[in-house]
Amino acid sequence: MAKGKGKSSPDKPRCGLCGKTRRLTKTDCCGNWICDDEHKYVIFSYARNSCHRNHSRYTLCASHHNEGHPGDWKDCPECRGSFKTEMYVWYVTNEYNFTKLENPPDYEPTRCSRCGTVIKLGTEAYSCLGEQYWCDECGQIEMQERVRRTKGSRRRGSPRA
Ligand SMILES: [Zn+2]
Ligand SMILES: [Zn+2]
Ligand SMILES: [Zn+2]
Ligand SMILES: [Zn+2]
């Protein structure tokens, strides 16, 4: 089967993210080749195994395109203003981008309001309410306490001791 000429043909389209050459499609936002693999994603699994989905969900390139902003996402003031700086930086520098922003802005790391751990908003689980952020663990404790507080007020004189 192998014809033996030109092992790596440079013209062959490859996914700009993972380099695969099968089942490709072009992105709407930037016209780059990418795996046509949205079907691999299992709903609600939050898996990040689909190149197409990763680019269209987790990059500013796609979001800028979906919002219908004019010009290049790399210098779009509307995009810059619509995300918390940390998320903005993640969107423009994560591995789901074909080209990353060269000089992303600085930002203060987000810390858990309860234990002070730094939370990486792009990749870690967290909960937030207004200006408060909690790491995954503290978020669960926080939720339990809220539930207990609301239940507690109704459960006066409960026989359980
Ligand atoms: Zn791919
Ligand atoms: Zn794109
Ligand atoms: Zn934009
Ligand atoms: Zn915490």
The string of pLDDT tens digits covering residues 28-62 is 999 999 999 887 766 667 677 899 999 999 999 99
Domain residues of the chain, as ranges? 14-107, 109-153
CA of 116, nearest ligand number? 4
CA distance 87 to 120: 9
State residue 2's pLDDT score.
44
Residues by chain with Cβ below 5 Å of ion ligand 4: 112, 114-115, 117, 135, 138
| Nearest bound ligand to the CA of residue 135 | 4
Distance 55 CA to ligand 2 centre (A): 6
- pLDDT tens-digit map of 99-141: 999 999 999 999 999 999 999 999 999 999 988 999 999 999 9
Span from the CA of 91 to the centroid of ligand 1 (angstroms): 18
pTM above 0.85, yes or no: no
- CA within 13 Å, CB half, 19: 3
Q: Say if residues 20 and 33 touch (Cβ distance below 8 Å).
A: no
